[in-house]
Amino acid sequence: MITAEQKPIREIINYVSPYNRILLVGCNECVTVCAAGGQKEVGILASVLKLNFLKQGKILEINEITLQRQCDPEFIEQLSPHLDRADAILSLACGCGVQTIASRYKDKIVFPAVNTKFMGASESQGIWAERCQGCGDCMLGITGGICPVARCSKHLLNGPCGGTSNGKCEIDSDVDCAWTLIWDRLKALGMEDRYEEIIEAKDWRPAGGGGPRKIIRKDLVL
Amino acid sequence: MKIFEPEIIAFCCHYCAYTAADMAGSKRIFYPPNIKIIRVPCTGKVAAIHILKALEKGADGVYVAGCLDGDCHFKNGNTRARQRIKYLQDYLMDIGWETERLAMINMSAGMGEYFAKTALEFTDTIRRLGPNPVKKIIEKQTAI
């Protein structure tokens, strides 16, 4: 999923302070799972903003809505009936959601309330870790299911480097060395010979080096 | 001069703090009538929004009273509640509210005296802090 973290509350307050009526929009997908922008977080943020402005003597009108998905135009349409009563939109979705709203409602300012972080997986309750960088040419099949692009600090395709120490990375003793993980995994699978094969230089164009990326499924296009 | 009588919401867990309050009552131990108790099955059930809504509606202080550490009837609800209180206190600090308006207290079912003592102390703290700043606006709106 796409992970996100709520922005510092002072930054959000600065965004909305010139306005009196805010449409606060959450998203039921990734940001709900990583507890950054779901219905619950929408309620909490609305309440905190109200408390902040009430203390200053200002009544901030907040309309709370959580869409099933903010990155699909079909769902964004549901905001239309509420826009007349909003001076600005505050979105708790990832950057994709914020931009989908911005492109649909061109005459309303949209502010992000979260910082979109990375594509990650849940390690345990409350902890999410980066697992994919969307390189566009997945190599998990030859690295035992552990991604060196996302999890090696140097994105080394043939590792480990000299900075590995007892299975940890030199940048931080809490960070696993991806190549140690890969080796251990290949060994457990009896596929050590795969480690011997040199992985050739990667074509980074599908990773975004060729500009903004797009997927077109011709069979689905209307 | 009129003495400020704070309105305080206490979310009390059924198994410990609520029973402790009950015991304080049975033993005729005085505790301030400012405390309005809301009984919850476990403090882990008290969501952040419940606390924020209490403040938004004008409560001068809110505390969550649960079982002693390690004694939660539901294993770790009180630990979660404590984490949640800390999370909300950070929010309050960021928006310039006194973090003391919010507290987490732990006690066992047999600690009636302690319930009364903490209720008194918390009431004193809130009395010192003064009324919830949103109260004035709420009263103004109600007058209209």
Kindly tell me if the per-residue pLDDT of A29 is higher than 90.
yes
Give the gap in angstroms from C-alpha B27 to the nearest C-alpha of chain A: 39
Of A9, A40, A50, the CB nearest to B91: A9
For residue B143, what pLDDT is reported? 75
CATH of A2-118, one of 3.40.50.2300, 3.20.20.140, 3.40.50.720, 2.70.150.10: 3.40.50.2300
Using an 8 Å CB-CB cutoff, list chain A residues near B48: 40, 44
Using an 8 Å CB-CB cutoff, list chain A residues near B57: none
Are the C-beta atoms of residues A109 and A130 closer than 8 Å to each other?
Answer: no
Mean pLDDT estimate for chain A = 97
CB contact under 8 A, B94 and A50: no
Q: Where does A44-179 show beta strands of DSSP type E?
A: 61-67, 88-91, 109-112, 114-124, 127-132, 168-169, 172-176
Cis before A81 (ω within 30): no
CB contact under 8 A, A47 and B52: yes
Indicate the pTM of the whole model: 0.94
Closest to A60 measured CA to CA, from B134, B54, B143: B134
Residue A210 host element (H or E): none
Are the C-beta atoms of residues B112 and B29 closer than 8 Å to each other?
Answer: yes
B140 or A32, greater pLDDT: A32
Are the C-beta atoms of residues A26 and A38 closer than 8 Å to each other?
Answer: yes
Percent of chain A with pLDDT over 90: 100
Tracing tokens 């922008």 back to the chain, one arrives at A37
For residue B142, what pLDDT is reported? 75
- Whether chain A has a CB inside 8 Å of the CB on B97: the answer is yes
For residue B119, what pLDDT is reported? 98
Residue B144: pLDDT band by 50, 70, 90 thresholds? Answer: low
For residue B136, what pLDDT is reported? 84
- Whether chain A has a CB inside 8 Å of the CB on B52: the answer is yes
Start-to-end CA distance of chain A, whole Å, equals: 27
Kindly tell me if the per-residue pLDDT of A59 is higher than 70.
yes
Buried b (16+ CB within 10 A) or exposed e, A182-201: bbeebeeeeeeeebeeeeee
Kindly tell me if the per-residue pLDDT of A46 is higher than 90.
yes
- Whether chain A has a CB inside 8 Å of the CB on B48: the answer is yes
Of A48, A55, A59, the CB nearest to B52: A48
pLDDT digit string, tens, across residues B23-81: 999 999 999 999 999 999 999 999 999 999 999 999 999 999 999 999 999 999 999 99
- Token couple for B136: 């004035």
Interstrand relation of B8-13 and B61-66 (parallel, antiparallel or unpaired): parallel
Cα angle for residues A109, A111, A117 (degrees, 5° grid):
150
CB contact under 8 A, B137 and A59: yes
Taking CA–CA distances from B57, the nearest residue in chain A reads: A51
Tell me the domain boundaries of chain A.
2-118, 133-207
Residue B92: pLDDT band by 50, 70, 90 thresholds? Answer: very high
Tracing tokens 């301030």 back to the chain, one arrives at B32
What is the pLDDT averaged over residues A56-77?
Answer: 96
The contacts of residue A95 (CB under 8 Å, 6+ apart) are A112, A116
- Whether chain A has a CB inside 8 Å of the CB on B1: the answer is no
Using an 8 Å CB-CB cutoff, list chain B residues near A51: 52, 55-56, 92, 95, 97, 134
Closest to B119 measured CA to CA, from B15, B1, B21, B3: B21
- Rounded to an integer, what distance in angstroms lies between the CA atom of residue A21 and that of residue A93? 19
Residue B3: pLDDT band by 50, 70, 90 thresholds? Answer: confident
B89: number of Cβ within 10 Å: 18
ipTM given for this complex? 0.94
pLDDT digit string, tens, across residues A132-182: 999 999 999 999 999 999 999 999 999 999 999 999 999 999 999 999 999
For residue B141, what pLDDT is reported? 77
Kindly tell me if the per-residue pLDDT of B1 is higher than 70.
no
Write down all domains in chain B, each with its CATH number in brackets: 8-143 (3.40.50)
